[in-house]
Amino acid sequence: MSDVSREEFEALKDRVDELERQIGRGEATTPTATDGLDHRDETVLSHMRENGRVAKVSLVRLYISLTDIQDRGKAKRRARTLEQTDAYQNL
């Protein structure tokens, strides 16, 4: 088992906090069983399917403008994670 970096730990902690808040509000979303993407990721991917793939800063901006994510740090983590998925790579 490898050590988890502080950044990875914080990203996971933020994701758990987000999911717990959604459950508490009755808004929990179910990630797609095969890819682990939620509705925010799907919204960003859908936009890029129509308008072309973007990366880095533009991807962070998409998360902020198209989803309920307003925290820049969280948007950066989500963008970085999305860039590593097959769904993003296959656009």
pLDDT more than 70, % of the chain: 87
Least confident of 19-23, 46-50, 76-80, 86-90: 19-23
| Reported confidence tier of residue 7, pLDDT bands at 50, 70, 90 | confident
For the chain, domain boundaries = 6-89
Least confident of 1-5, 15-19, 64-68, 79-83: 1-5
Reading the block at residue 29, the tokens are 């979303």
Rounded-to-integer distance, Cα 89 and Cα 91, Å: 6
| pTM as predicted | 0.64
